[in-house]
């Protein structure tokens, strides 16, 4: 833990017959040397972020035969939320060796690519960082076979057994001795136990060798083989595809830029999802809707899922289940949890999925502002008999319920709340950052995590409605994106896609725009998100933010507040995308 690498390895048993690669038959899982790896990093992007800790265990036949652990000085400041998450501080990393010192030692520990199989939970993340580090140091990364415990778990464990495939969930399921803690070696030890539990499960599938494990992963079902012909005559064009059962009911709706190529993948070994294989078994036909643009295909997919609610689609089926936080319409408003989009976005926050997220966001508001939380309506008559609650005693509420706070005074708090969401989010951001730093210095990491979570859920939800409202308020927005020598156009009205069109070899830009105006749907102004679902608006926003998109025509103002919620997200690395380039900062 002082930055010096620790590596201990016992003598390996003699007379072990090694096979070179996965392609060689007969390499039994119990005779295979696995090196289980876990990393801690400064962020989620290999090449942009850096490694802060490496942990690994070398195991064979159920026994640990080597262990490696080292902190790594990333050479860059450590984001506060990483310290909160992992407990690793900059003070711990300052004396640690740099990656150019640690990586050679780690590669030596890994051993030969012909003998070692690398294992990680969500392997693309860890291996991606290791490859990026090797590339930066001009090392050639060895071609180790790689196993991902997430992928194996998806194949051998059902949703009845585990609710998801996170390491913590699998650790609880297999009752591992070490629990994951977001520290490399602890997470490695938990992953080793999970790996052994999965290998035991593989035995029930008749999987005992690496070759059998590869074949197991690449297997296709009889239904996949028998129904490949359903994808034969589909067009190689953008659009929506719909898997249907014998009754003609939609089972699954998807979209692709190339319908033929995408649907074919459902009938290959690469499709390993249990529910999709089950769906293919009862599929009798596949319909498709060709669209002029990929954006229109995505919107049509979304609308079809929300309308038909196909049972094999997981996302977007129940948009009405998300919640919003909004102010009540009364003399002394309070923030309440509601279903359904608010007609007035002023003072509203959302959408928010998940009960815990809603409660955390609401708690962050009440921690920052002394808004009343009691439910009774405040009237001149109620004030005479009301009694203040505990919030008044701890200075978290001015007690308007007993007439202790005037309407004018309370209105100032409401104005500050709206200003926070619509103009300047920095005060809450700074307050939360300071609180997390103070608690981290006192090593009260659990409390710091609670502050971080409350702030993060509120910031995300506040930023979401700010983004959505930026185009949902516009009467008309026409955008264009170049596709080779052609142009793709989209007409958006109050956040709803009204039409798309594309230039061809025989049509000019002006002709395409004229046709777009003629075919565009009429969308009345019925209030915020009353004529479109928020998911469609967010889909269009992602398109607007993609490379090359240009603004052709606008009726209204497309902008974000300079210091609004979106401006503060980057400070906490809450978004993986680059700062928004598509909007004018106002």
What confidence score (pLDDT) does residue 471 get? 94
Q: Cα dihedral angle (291, 293, 298, 304), rounded to 10 degrees?
A: -20
**576 falls in which pLDDT band (50, 70, 90)?**
very low
Mean per-residue pLDDT, 468-482? 94
Mapped onto helix, strand or coil, the DSSP state of residue 237 is coil
Q: What is the pLDDT of residue 571?
A: 61
Catalytic residues: 182
- What does the alpha-carbon distance between residue 390 and residue 396 come to, in Å, rounded to a whole number? 9
Question: Residue 17, exposed/middle/buried by CB under 10 A (0-12, 13-18, 19+)?
Answer: exposed
Is residue 101 over pLDDT 60? yes
Sheet containing 239-244: order of strands: 250-256, 239-244, 285-290
% of the chain surpassing 90 pLDDT: 55
Nearest to 300 by CA among 312, 287, 281, 282: 287
pLDDT class of 521 with cuts at 50, 70, 90 = very high
Within 10 Å of residue 355's Cβ, how many Cβ atoms?
10
Residue 378 has pLDDT above 80, yes or no: yes
- For residue 189, the 8-state DSSP code is H
DSSP labels for 470-526? HHHT-SEEEEEEEETTEEEEEEEETTEEEEEEE--TT--HHHHHHHHHHHPPP----
Range among 8-12, 101-105, 263-267, 400-404 rated most confident: 101-105
Q: What is the DSSP letter of 46?
A: B
Query: If phi over 0 gives left and psi between -120 and 50 gives alpha, with beta otherwise, what is residue 548?
Result: left
What's residue 17's pLDDT? Answer: 38
Nearest in space to 213 (alpha carbons), one of 54, 22, 427:
22
25 compared with 530, residue with greater pLDDT: 530
pLDDT at 353 (0 to 100) = 83
Q: Residue 510: which pLDDT band, with cuts at 50, 70 and 90?
A: confident
Q: What is the dihedral of CA 573, 579, 584, 586, to 10 degrees?
A: 20
| pLDDT at residue 19 tops 80 | no
What average pLDDT does range 463-485 have in this prediction? Answer: 93
Whole-number Å distance between alpha carbons of 552 and 544: 12
Q: Check: pTM over 0.75? Answer yes or no.
A: no
Q: What is the pLDDT of residue 572?
A: 54
20, pLDDT greater than 90? no
pLDDT of 167 higher than 60: yes
Assess contact for 358 and 323: CB atoms under 8 A: yes
Calculate mean pLDDT across residues 135-145: 93
Residue 36's pLDDT is: 97
CB 345 within 8 A of CB 538: no
For residues 574 and 432, the answer to whether their CB atoms sit within 8 Å is: no
Query: Tens of pLDDT along 52-92?
Result: 999 999 999 999 999 999 999 999 999 888 998 899 999 99
β-bridge partners, 58: 35, 66
Residue 579 has pLDDT above 50, yes or no: no
Report residue 26's pLDDT band, with 50, 70 and 90 as the boundaries. Answer: low
């Amino acid at each position: 833990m002082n930055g010096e690498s620790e590596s201990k390895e016992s003598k390996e048993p003699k007379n072990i017959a090694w096979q070179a690669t996965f392609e060689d038959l007969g390499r039994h899982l119990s005779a295979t040397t696995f090196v289980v790896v876990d990393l801690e990093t400064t962020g989620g992007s290999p090449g942009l972020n850096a490694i802060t800790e490496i942990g690994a265990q070398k195991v064979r036949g159920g026994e640990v035969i080597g262990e490696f652990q080292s902190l790594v000085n990333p050479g860059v400041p450590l984001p506060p939320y990483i310290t909160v998450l992992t407990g690793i501080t900059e003070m711990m990393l300052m004396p640690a060796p740099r990656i150019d010192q640690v990586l050679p030692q780690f590669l030596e520990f890994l051993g030969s690519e012909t003998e070692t199989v690398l294992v990680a939970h969500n392997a693309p993340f860890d291996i991606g960082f290791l490859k990026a580090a090797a590339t930066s140091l001009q090392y050639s990364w060895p071609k180790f076979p790689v196993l991902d415990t997430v992928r194996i778990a998806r194949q051998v464990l059902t949703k009845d057994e585990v609710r998801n495939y996170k390491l913590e969930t699998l650790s609880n399921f297999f009752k591992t001795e070490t629990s994951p803690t977001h520290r490399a070696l602890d997470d490695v030890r938990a992953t080793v136990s999970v790996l052994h539990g999965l290998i035991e499960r593989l035995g029930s599938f008749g999987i005992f060798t690496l070759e059998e494990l590869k074949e197991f992963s690449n297997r296709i079902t009889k239904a996949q083989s028998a129904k490949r012909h359903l994808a034969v005559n589909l067009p190689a064009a953008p659009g929506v595809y719909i898997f249907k059962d014998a009754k003609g009911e939609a089972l699954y709706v998807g979209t692709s830029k190339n319908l033929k190529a995408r649907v074919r993948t459902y009938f290959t070994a690469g499709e390993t999802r249990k529910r999709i294989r089950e769906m293919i078994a009862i599929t009798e036909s596949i319909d498709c809707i060709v669209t002029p643009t990929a954006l229109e295909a995505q919107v049509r997919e979304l609308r079809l899922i929300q309308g038909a609610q196909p049972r094999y689609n997981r996302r977007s089926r129940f948009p009405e289940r998300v919640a919003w936080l909004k102010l009540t319409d009364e003399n002394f408003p309070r923030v309440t949890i509601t279903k359904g989009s608010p007609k007035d976005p002023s003072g509203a926050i959302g959408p928010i999925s998940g009960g815990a997220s809603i409660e955390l966001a609401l708690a962050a508001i009440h921690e920052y502002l002394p808004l009343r939380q009691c439910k009774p309506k405040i009237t001149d008559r109620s004030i005479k008999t009301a009694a203040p609650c505990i919030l008044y005693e701890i200075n978290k509420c001015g007690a308007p319920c007993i007439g202790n706070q005037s309407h004018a005074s309370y209105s100032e708090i409401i104005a500050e709340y709206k200003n926070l969401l619509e103009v300047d989010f920095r005060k809450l951001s700074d307050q939360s950052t300071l609180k997390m730093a103070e608690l981290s210095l006192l090593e009260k990491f659990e409390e710091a995590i609670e502050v971080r979570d409350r702030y993060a859920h509120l910031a995300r939800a506040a930023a979401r409605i700010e983004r959505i409202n930026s185009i949902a308020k516009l009467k008309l927005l026409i955008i264009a994106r170049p596709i080779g020598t052609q142009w793709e156009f989209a007409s958006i009205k109050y956040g709803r896609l009204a039409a798309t069109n594309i230039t061809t070899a025989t049509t000019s830009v002006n002709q395409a725009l004229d046709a777009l105006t003629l075919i565009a749907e009429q969308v009345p102004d019925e209030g915020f998100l009353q004529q479109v679902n928020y998911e469609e608006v967010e889909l269009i926003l992602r398109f607007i933010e993609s490379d090359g998109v240009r603004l052709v025509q606008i009726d209204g103002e497309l902008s974000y507040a300079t210091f609004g919620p979106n401006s503060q997200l980057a400070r906490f690395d809450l978004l993986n995308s680059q700062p928004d380039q598509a909007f004018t900062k106002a």
